[in-house]
Structure formats: C-alpha cells, structure tokens
C-alpha cells in the first residue's frame, strides 16, 4: 500500500466533476480496502447517504460543492463530506507515515532510546 494513498483517493473522488456513480464507486472501494476505522465508518455513512438521495447516479457533479440550499438532508450530507475531506487532508499532511498513524491510534508507542 502506497503511503496515504487512500486519503488522496478520497480527496480526488470528492473534488472531481463527474457522474455521482463514479465517485460513489471510488469511495466505496476505499471504504472496503482501508484499515483506518475512522475513515471506513465515515465513508460508510456518506456512501449510504448518497445512495439514499433522490438523485440520478449518472448526474455529473462535484461532491465538495455545497448542496445545503437544496434541503436539510443534502446539507447534512455536505457536512459529512466536509468532515471526511478535512480528516483526509489532515492525515495526508501529517508528518507520520500512514502505518504509524494507525499503529499509534491502536496503542503502539515508538521505542525510547
């Protein structure tokens, strides 16, 4: 696994303009492959919410755009997408490698010299 590849893939899927189905497929692939439980849980919620929208999956759009003007459900979807984007940006920009981020979250501590 390339370091932080999953976070970059999520950010790319959220930022691209294209069919909703393509973004949903890309996010679902990361959800199934990631070892990051926080990311998996957040993607599961957002993907489920996207599937529940009354919108054509062939519609071309950018998930990072603000849909809050369309109603409460899509406004909360946008908030979830914003949280995922912020989380992925933070993890991508962290100085630690992905394995170290996940290991520390699981309780690992680096050896002291």
In a domain, 111, yes or no: no
Q: Which residue has the higher pLDDT, 105 or 86?
A: 86
Give me the residue label for tokens 């950010």: 11
Structural domains of the chain, count:
1
The pLDDT of residue 74 is: 54
In a domain, 112, yes or no: no
The residue range of the domain holding 101 is 5-105
Question: In angstroms, rounded to a whole number, what is the distance separating the alpha carbons of residues 84 and 63?
Answer: 11
In a domain, 63, yes or no: yes
In a domain, 113, yes or no: no
pLDDT tens-digit map of 46-94: 998 888 776 677 778 888 875 555 454 555 777 888 899 999 999 999 8
In a domain, 46, yes or no: yes
Assess contact for 27 and 41: CB atoms under 8 A.
no
In a domain, 48, yes or no: yes
pTM score, whole prediction: 0.81
């Amino acid at each position: 696994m390339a370091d932080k590849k999953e976070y970059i893939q999520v950010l790319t899927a959220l930022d691209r303009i294209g069919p909703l189905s393509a973004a949903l497929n890309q996010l679902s692939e990361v959800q199934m492959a990631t070892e990051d439980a926080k990311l998996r849980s957040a993607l599961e919620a957002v993907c489920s919410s996207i599937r529940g929208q009354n919108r054509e999956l062939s519609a071309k759009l950018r998930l990072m755009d603000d849909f809050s003007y369309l109603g409460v459900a899509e406004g909360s979807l946008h908030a979830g997408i914003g949280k995922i984007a912020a989380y992925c940006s933070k993890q991508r920009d962290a100085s630690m490698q992905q394995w170290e981020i996940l290991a520390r979250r699981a309780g690992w501590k680096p050896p002291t010299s």
